[in-house]
Amino acid sequence: MTKSEFVDKAAARSGQPKAEIEKTLDAILGTLTEALRTEPKVVLGGLGVFTVKERAARVGRNPKTGEAVQVPAKKAVKFKPSKELKTAVEGKE
């Protein structure tokens, strides 16, 4: 599902204009992004937990040549869904 399809469905479900839904979604995503830059964990009840994890530098391999390549350390976002979301996706709701 694309962002525009998501906005269309949310607008149909809520009765709000698509422009308002998209503006709200952009605000939520922007706030989440900013929060993850400064906080190690963001908990959204009913949805799940977003955490920032450090990945250590490592040596990888170029699959075409087999040459060793240094992969730098970086931060990665992890998501753990809530129990409610897992249950809904499994269709046990």
Residue 91: the pLDDT is 85
Mean pLDDT of 65-88: 95
The pTM score is 0.77
73 confidence band (pLDDT: 50, 70, 90):
very high
Which amino acid is residue 77, in one-letter code?
Answer: V
93 confidence band (pLDDT: 50, 70, 90):
low
Whether residue 63 has pLDDT greater than 70: yes
Whether residue 37 has pLDDT greater than 70: yes
Residue 28: the pLDDT is 95
Which residues make beta-bridge pairs with 48?
44, 81
Count of beta carbons in the 10 Å neighbourhood of residue 8:
15
